Structure 1
């Protein structure tokens, strides 16, 4: 099955470079390019791509606003582009529904891999990157009083809440399985249930939800 892609970046050479790399891959088709967020949203509405490769900082409408609209209106997966590792805009983009992010100087093979991962419905953030996310949440939440877990989490079983707490600590499925003394298959089921019951797109949003609902306390053991 062909993965349909829209590439959005305000720099023409960057856009052209990504398009050339992606078009050279079997099973990839770049259906449109966009020079700003508004054009990106229009392209997604017109072409209904599987993946939107989206620069965070663009004129007219930035990538964060565009990501929010695209994720609210469609099933298109959004992969953000940023100049700096863990640019603070990345966190706003992830809250908007983006499935991950890449640095603009990404290697060709990593770009291709990232698009395939996101197109398959997975989040791009590996456990090591998730831990960086957690560190950032800890810094942002420093000094805030802890709150009890939100009623939103009442739909989860005890095991599912435990799974969500471990996801928020940056543990992989294998690490969660070892900690809970269950199979990885069981963990995958728990993770799937957590995402479905809470209406989350991926593990990235699960991490954010765990902190925002108070299930996991920044700086604590989780």
Structure 2
């Protein structure tokens, strides 16, 4: 049940959905661990809010370096942030951390950064990382204008990598979007994976509440 969570863009709710999935698995009595291999936009102490949320939603002991091996202060594309910091993102380091978590947890949920094709170094991107981890992918679709195109392109990229899209989540970012339900219906008809749930717009997103939206969809697949 380990999975890699990606999104149609940055800011579409990958962390929210990742934490919600961790809560779903934890309610089944499983040991769960969240991982954010690369994060940008860290505070002055080198802490990243997304990684901290994943760690808080986990129920196994793990270090910050295991949860978030690479973290950068600048909130910019990770390969640029790494270059500015004199660092090259090495997949071996990420895989080592993942394997350490996988030995302690029944389920590891790995959250990407940005979209599915965001570069991580001079020759590798998020898609390459997901492929090396060899995990089924959960696609978070931010429901707003343009979401159909972004979702279908991302789903095609996942398929081209030889990875399985285990399911997708409709996360409503614009509650006033015209033809909102029609857009979700169009995605259901076209995406080659089951919809795990629809997450309503929330002023203050709550991963535990979202877990209730996803529980039946995920468990129906297993």
Q: Same fold (TM over 0.5)?
A: no
- Higher RCO (CA < 8 A, seq sep 6+): 2
> Greater share of helix residues, 1 or 2?
1
Category of TM-score, reference length = shorter chain? 0.3 to 0.5
Structure with greater proportional strand content = 2
The TM-score with structure 2 as length reference comes to 0.40
Computing the radius of gyration from Cα coordinates, the structure with the larger value is 1
Q: Normalization by structure 1: what TM-score?
A: 0.40
